Amino acid sequence: MTARHILTYACDLSGGGVERAQLRLARGWLAAGRRVTLVIGDTAGPLAAEMPAGLDLIELGTPTYLAQFGLPGIVRDRRPDVIFCAGNFYTSIAAWTRLRLGRDCPPIVGKMSNAAARGDHGPILDLAHRIWLTQHRWFLDHMVAMTPATAAEAGRMTRMLSRTSVIPNPPAPPVEGAPLPALPRGRFVLGVGRLVPQKRWDRLIAALPALPDDVALAILGEGELRPALERQVAALGLQRRVQLLGHTADPLPAMARAALLALPSDYEGVPGVLREALSVGTPVVTTDCSPAVAEIVADHRFGSIVQRDDAGGLAAALTHWLAAPRPDPVPQPGTDSAARYLTLFDSLV
């Protein structure tokens, strides 16, 4: 049978990687002739321009997470063939939907978008998180991870190894007409990602004084930590060398102009920004924030991986790649990802 109608859901379009990949997949499914319904809390946000034509929208009127718990009623009304849960953040909604609908619930496919073993919790929360992961096998019919290493980790922690597939995210396409942000004129290190605690941009700002004086830092992204990061920049006297440029529709041109891309995160799923930077021949410096990092930075010519709390190692790696030769571009995987998801959906239906 064919999964003719796919339903997926999200809180908003504020610019996260989960929602961006979700919209890319939806575009591919629509192009294949499938019907796609997106249940969305709020359609405003930077990603609104990336919504594909033909998407069936159900607007909840509020981006709050609680609003998503109305999903079972929408599923009863719209009767999709399959539900796609686009990331870890949304799995409790999938569990609630399965609980409410029981045998009337269509198959649910969940994507492990972030790290299964996050490492940012205390002992009690970490134990609770691990127990929660073991429950996924009761409400997800299948799980998708984006690399073999993350699939092995996620499958082991959820006890779903036999029901876990590897499908990378679709590659980032160029966005026609997207304005180029006001980048530094000379050499600069680039960061791309939301201004949230997970990303640890404070590490990158703290490393800047150890770099040559002519090197600037630009970060593309927006979020709750902007005031704190601005205070850190001011305290270090780096106002002329650090630019927090906000969200951009297409970071690829900025990546191509950067001397290197840095990702100092505490944890990640499969950081797409590393693949995007390598696709335009820009070296990367990243923390060991995910099992996928070693798969992406698989050659020493691509960049460096440093330990998360090694401030000296981070500064040394940044200094090295400011002078080292740029790598040849590395094509992004995932050009057939939408089709591979459809094959999976059809098999479950």
pLDDT at 71: 98
Residue 9 three-state SS = strand
Within a domain: residue 181? no
What integer best gives the mean pLDDT of the chain?
94
Question: How much is the average pLDDT of 210-215?
Answer: 96
Within a domain: residue 27? yes
Rounded CA separation 270/226 (Å) = 24
Please determine, for residue 247, whether its predicted confidence score (pLDDT) is greater than 90.
no
Question: How much is the average pLDDT of 66-83?
Answer: 97
Q: Does 98 share its domain with 199?
A: no
Q: Out of 132-136, 174-178, 234-238, 279-283, which region has the weakest mean confidence (pLDDT)? A: 174-178
Q: Does 259 share its domain with 195?
A: yes
Please determine, for residue 301, whether its predicted confidence score (pLDDT) is greater than 80.
yes
Question: How much is the average pLDDT of 62-73?
Answer: 96
Q: Does 99 share its domain with 244?
A: no
Within a domain: residue 329? no
According to DSSP, the residues that pair with 188 across neighbouring strands are 216
Q: Does 66 share its domain with 142?
A: yes
Q: Does 51 share its domain with 162?
A: yes
Q: Does 136 share its domain with 225?
A: no
pLDDT at 120: 64
Question: How much is the average pLDDT of 208-219?
Answer: 97
Please determine, for residue 174, whether its predicted confidence score (pLDDT) is greater than 70.
yes
Please determine, for residue 31, whether its predicted confidence score (pLDDT) is greater than 70.
yes
pTM assigned to the model: 0.86
Q: pLDDT grade, residue 85 (50/70/90)?
A: very high
pLDDT at 58: 97
The pair of three-digit structure tokens given for residue 117, joined into one six-digit string: 């073993």
Task: Provide the edge-to-edge strand list for the sheet that holds 142-145.
Answer: 56-59, 35-40, 5-10, 82-85, 108-111, 142-145, 164-166
CATH of the domain at 291: 3.40.50.2000
Q: pLDDT grade, residue 17 (50/70/90)?
A: confident
Q: Is the dihedral of CA 307, 312, 316, 319 positive or negative?
A: positive
Rounded CA separation 142/348 (Å) = 8
Cα atoms in the Cβ-side hemisphere of radius 13 Å centred on 167: 26
Rounded CA separation 319/133 (Å) = 39
Instruction: Write the CB contacts of 303 (distance below 8 Å, at least 6 apart in sequence).
Output: 260, 274, 278, 283, 284, 285, 286, 297, 317, 321, 327
In this prediction, what percent of the chain has a pLDDT beyond 90?
A: 84
Within a domain: residue 182? no
Rounded CA separation 330/299 (Å) = 11
Q: Does 160 share its domain with 261?
A: no
DSSP 162: G
Q: Out of 19-23, 69-73, 178-182, 342-346, which region has the weakest mean confidence (pLDDT)? A: 178-182
Q: Does 300 share its domain with 205?
A: yes
pLDDT at 118: 65
The number of folded domains in the chain is 2
Please determine, for residue 326, whether its predicted confidence score (pLDDT) is greater than 80.
yes
Within a domain: residue 91? yes
pLDDT in tens, 138-162: 999 999 999 999 999 999 999 999 9
Q: Does 24 share its domain with 148?
A: yes
Within a domain: residue 154? yes
Q: Does 144 share its domain with 224?
A: no
Question: How much is the average pLDDT of 180-195?
Answer: 94
Within a domain: residue 177? no
Q: Which helix (H) or strand (E) holds 93?
A: helix 91-101
Within a domain: residue 25? yes
CA-CA-CA-CA dihedral for 221, 222, 228, 231, to nearest 10: 70
Q: Does 24 share its domain with 155?
A: yes
Domain of residue 66 covers 5-171+334-348
Rounded CA separation 243/301 (Å) = 28
Outline where DSSP puts E strands in the chain.
Answer: 5-10, 35-40, 56-59, 82-85, 108-111, 142-145, 164-166, 188-192, 216-220, 242-246, 260-263, 284-287, 303-306
pLDDT at 221: 92
The pair of three-digit structure tokens given for residue 338, joined into one six-digit string: 């939408």
Q: Out of 174-178, 278-282, 345-349, which region has the weakest mean confidence (pLDDT)? A: 174-178
pLDDT at 248: 87
Is residue 13 within 8 Å of 48, Cβ to Cβ? yes
Q: Does 20 share its domain with 144?
A: yes
pLDDT at 119: 61
Of 137, 18, 138, residue with least CA distance to 84: 18
